[in-house]
Amino acid sequence: MMRIGILWALTLAAFWMAGCDSDDGEAATADASVADAQSPMGQKPNQPREEWDMAPLPAPDRMRGARDGGPGDAGALSLVPPECAVETVRLDGFEIFAYEASRTDGSEAAEGTATDQVCSRPGARPWTHVTIADAAAGCELAGFRLCTDAEWEAACRGEDGRQFPYGRLHEPGRCNDHVSGASEVRPSGHYSRCHTETGIYDLSGNVWEITADPSRRGASHRVYASSFRAEAGDCISTYVLFDDYHEDDLGFRCCRSLE
């Protein structure tokens, strides 16, 4: 009887311990399920990070090009205006803009609207709709002044005293003049052969140019009445300019004396 009682007690103890192991296993399983639910994308935390990637981050904004040629995509507009170069030619006693005056935000397609500085560079449309006072103030921004009639003519005629910036006779199509030009303003330097031997562009055609005397020189792109013959775009002819006169084919260039 004692042996039977001992065996019965051992059997009950075994059953009791098995029940405890079962409860612990169920609790462990429940804890694992909660951990899985809280992990990203429902994956187990011990998996490699790349296997539970979240949604990709948005692409960073593209950098826009700057005046120093920094990185940026080709289609982006510049955050700063183009370089305001002031290219000049030095002659006997004075310096003159190599190109018709333009604005800092001027481009091939548009004249721009900025008035903070005056530029002399190729590829920009000339600054127009200016009076004599406007042009003089523009030149002062760059440390220059309006050219006198004598300076303008000396730059145009050169040492050989030619009649046109490029030679003795008018050459149709060489400049954007009122005889054979495009009938619209072009960016400065667009006509690559319309220059003096010293590299001064568009002294004939494109836009009339204001001088300090005051007058307008060099004709423009616009086809006028027959009285404006080819000579209107030469180096010699001058036309009186009234103080408040301004047009979309009237521009300027600047000079300054050399010490």
Q: Is the peptide bond before 40 cis (omega within 30 degrees of 0)?
A: no
Assign 15 a pLDDT band (cuts: 50, 70, 90). Answer: very low
CB 211 within 8 A of CB 94: no
85: pLDDT strictly greater than 80? yes
Average pLDDT of the residues in 46-64: 30
| Residue 243: predicted pLDDT | 95
| List of domains in the chain | 86-259 (3.90.1580.10)
Higher pLDDT, 120 or 9: 120
Question: How does pLDDT run across 92-135, given as a tens digit for each residue?
Answer: 999 999 999 999 999 999 999 999 999 999 999 999 999 999 99
| Residue 227: predicted pLDDT | 63
Dig out the tokens for 105 from the structure. Answer: 């935000």
Q: Kindly report which listed range (5-9, 43-47, 73-77, 189-193) carries the lowest average pLDDT score.
A: 73-77
Dig out the tokens for 209 from the structure. Answer: 């140019």
Higher pLDDT, 81 or 156: 156
Report the number of secondary-structure helices (H) and strands (E) in the chain.
3, 10
Average pLDDT of the residues in 196-218: 97
Query: What are the phi and psi torsion angles at 36 (to 5°)?
Result: -60, -40
37: pLDDT strictly greater than 60? no
